[in-house]
Chains A and B, each alone.
Chain A
Amino acid sequence: MAKRIDVSGLTAYYGSHKAIEDISMTVEPRSVTAFIGPSGCGKSTFLRTLNRMHEVTPGGRVEGKVLLDAEDLYGAGVDPVSVRREVGMVFQRPNPFPTMSIFDNVAAGLRLNGNYKKSELNDIVEKSLKGANLWNEVKDRLNKPGSGLSGGQQQRLCIARAIAVEPKVLLMDEPCSALDPISTLAIEDLIGELKDRFTIVIVTHNMQQAARVSDRTAFFNLAAVGQPGRLVEIDDTERIFSNPSVQATEDYISGRFG
């Protein structure tokens, strides 16, 4: 089910501003890849090019190739909507739909995309909430609004919503940055379980988190202020944290970075 991502020569713009330049990397299926790097170096931008959310921003433009199991996401005739069904996304701030109940939030992706029988939906919602480790906390109040949950529960609700549509890849942009340590732990455990089924890419500012959850780590950096962000290196997480091949990576990880 999980798919491999091959990026080559990817450059992304906001209008005339070049945010990231010439990024190439491979993301292995059934693994967790962490993106780290200083603020503003283009991690979110790059992540959003992987499911064509970048072009939702007015002026957003992309050059280069992103292959999802050999199929170019930016090829002619590719429908961004079907790309996003394959590549799901969890955002930094929990954003459940305020007009929908917990059940409807999880079912949203399916309901808004096609016709499902109520019994099918029930099964999928239960499975997704269990997959997001949220089922036990909400099973008695599925018809209450999702905005009534705690921040950590809302974020797991958003994860449940994302996995309910069975994507091949799951992109997470700082999914724990608004959460307490316990919710963070719950989500990290969850990521460990989800990687058996999905290809996972996670952006994080938390080095320990990257070290704990990821198999491979990519370090992004800015050459200088005002320059576009670049990929410095990508390697096995162990190597990046013990013996990176670029000095800048070591400086950043050990906190010697400006």
Chain B
Amino acid sequence: MSTAAVTDKRGGSLSGARLPKWSPWAIAAGSVAVAVGIGLGAGLGSEVQWGLIAAILFVLGTYGVAARVEGRRQAKDRVATSLVWVAFLLAVVPLVSLVWTTVSRGVKVLDVHFLTHSMGIVADTETGGGIYHAIIGSLEQVGLATLIGAPIGVLTAVYLVEYGRGRLAQAVTFFVDVMTGIPSIVAGLFILSLMLILELDPFGFAGSLALAILMMPVVVRSTEEMLKLVPNELREASLALGVPKWRTILKVVLPTAIGGITTGVMLAIARIAGETAPVLLLVFGNPFINTDPFEGAQASLPLYIYQQYAAGGDAAYDRAWAASLTLIAFVMILNLVARGIARWKTPR
């Protein structure tokens, strides 16, 4: 038939030789084996080098094998796929290794005692003590910073997306961009200068103010993106029902974007929860339990980690790791909660 003739002329049919499903794994295993061999033979000390050799061999090997068996187009496709996998592994390996190190070294002293006691009567060189005071400090400082930073950030984004026109909106966008780039120590110094003018001693809320400054631009940016994703048709549908603009924003636009907004706020919280510099300047650190963020120096988790690490000695290192684990767990729990809220809020 004529179709057959056409197929013949183009020199192929729809099905060609294909590599079996398991071939990527085989190539990966092969390249790892060869990389280990090269590493041992050449006496390369670092596993990172082995890994890089294996990655390069994997990509090259994939291309070579696929080009022989399947042809050049499929080979390119497979190389693109394998590059994506390699990039994924390169990104995941440090992350997994970080979590693994923190967990394995952190669990050593992490127990109920550690979570419920302060360092008040324990010298940094002794064993024992805990992070209760630092948890209190972190929760209060980050909580207050969120109470200030998140609403201002979300409202700024609402202004920019729903109302902002012309000069003022441009100026706000510009300053938000500038604020995104402010190093945390500078935010700390800014509040510190105010404290010096007012002759105040370090206290938790001063740290919250600096953290709020750091948080706001992140919240504005992410919320802005989320609000822009809300289709204009929904706004028009609501306005056409005779709903005023502010209620439209409150009842239609924000609920539609709430999942993304929460995620953005959570990321911002995660960012400020790990800030050390402004806390060091403004809250100062305190081995005793101080539950009042408005009076007197407080501790915080990142600051605690820094101070324990600086103090040195096995007991202090163990505490630093355990505190790091707590901090990571705190951020992770927060993320899970946020996802839970977002999922609970979307209708099914």
The distance in angstroms between the C-alpha atoms of A165 and B241, with both chains bound, is 7
- Chain B residues positioned under 8 Å from A197 (CB to CB): none
| Partner among B247, B255, B348 whose Cβ is within 8 Å of the Cβ of A145 | B348
Quick one: CB contact mask for A176-210 with B, threshold 8 Å, 1 for yes?
Answer: 00000000000000000000000000000000000
**CB <8 Å contact, B255 and A84:** no
Does A135 make an interface contact (CB < 8 A)?
no
- Chain A residues positioned under 8 Å from B234 (CB to CB): 95, 97-98
Output the least CB separation between B160 and chain A (Å). 14
**CB <8 Å contact, A95 and B231:** yes
Does A101 make an interface contact (CB < 8 A)?
yes
Quick one: CB contact mask for B228-269 with A, threshold 8 Å, 1 for yes?
Answer: 000101111111111110011001100110100000000000
Output the least CB separation between A54 and chain B (Å). 11
| Partner among B231, B235, B239, B255 whose Cβ is within 8 Å of the Cβ of A99 | B255
Does A53 make an interface contact (CB < 8 A)?
yes
Quick one: CB contact mask for A71-100 with B, threshold 8 Å, 1 for yes?
Answer: 000000000011111101101010111111
A99-B347, A145-B348 known; A112+B233 contact, CB < 8 A: no
Residue of A nearest to B233 (CB): A95
**CB <8 Å contact, B244 and A81:** yes
- Chain B residues positioned under 8 Å from A158 (CB to CB): 237
Quick one: CB contact mask for A15-57 with B, threshold 8 Å, 1 for yes?
Answer: 0000000000000000000000000000000000001010010
- Chain B residues positioned under 8 Å from A101 (CB to CB): 347
**CB <8 Å contact, A56 and B241:** no
Could you give 25 example pairs across A and B, Cβ below 8 Å? A51-B240, A53-B236, A53-B240, A81-B242, A82-B242, A84-B239, A85-B242, A86-B242, A91-B236, A91-B240, A97-B234, A97-B238, A97-B252, A98-B256, A98-B347, A99-B345, A108-B243, A109-B242, A112-B248, A113-B242, A145-B347, A145-B348, A161-B241, A162-B241, A165-B241
Quick one: CB contact mask for A140-165 with B, threshold 8 Å, 1 for yes?
Answer: 00001100000000000010011001
A98-B256, A100-B347, A145-B347 known; A56+B242 contact, CB < 8 A: no
Does A255 make an interface contact (CB < 8 A)?
no
Does B165 make an interface contact (CB < 8 A)?
yes
- Chain B residues positioned under 8 Å from A93 (CB to CB): 233
18 other contacts beyond A51-B240, A99-B346, A99-B347, with CB at 8 A cut-off?
A56-B235, A84-B240, A84-B241, A88-B241, A91-B240, A93-B233, A95-B233, A95-B237, A96-B237, A97-B237, A99-B256, A99-B258, A108-B252, A109-B243, A112-B238, A113-B242, A144-B348, A145-B347
List which B203-228 residues lie within 8 A (CB) of chain A.
none
Does A58 make an interface contact (CB < 8 A)?
yes
Output the least CB separation between B33 and chain A (Å). 52
The distance in angstroms between the C-alpha atoms of A145 and B346, with both chains bound, is 9
Residue of A nearest to B230 (CB): A98
Output the least CB separation between B74 and chain A (Å). 39
Quick one: CB contact mask for A101-120 with B, threshold 8 Å, 1 for yes?
Answer: 10000001100110000000
Residue of A nearest to B245 (CB): A81
Output the least CB separation between A78 and chain B (Å). 13
| Partner among A56, A58, A112 whose Cβ is within 8 Å of the Cβ of B243 | A112
- Chain A residues positioned under 8 Å from B241 (CB to CB): 84-85, 88, 108-109, 112-113, 161-162, 165
Among B231, B243, B247, max chain A CB count under 10 A is at B243
Output the least CB separation between A170 and chain B (Å). 11
Output the least CB separation between B175 and chain A (Å). 23
- Chain B residues positioned under 8 Å from A113 (CB to CB): 241-243, 247
A81-B242, A97-B252 known; A112+B236 contact, CB < 8 A: no
Residue of B nearest to A98 (CB): B256
**CB <8 Å contact, B240 and A112:** no
Among A83, A86, A97, A113, max chain B CB count under 10 A is at A97
The distance in angstroms between the C-alpha atoms of A112 and B231, with both chains bound, is 19
- Chain B residues positioned under 8 Å from A86 (CB to CB): 242
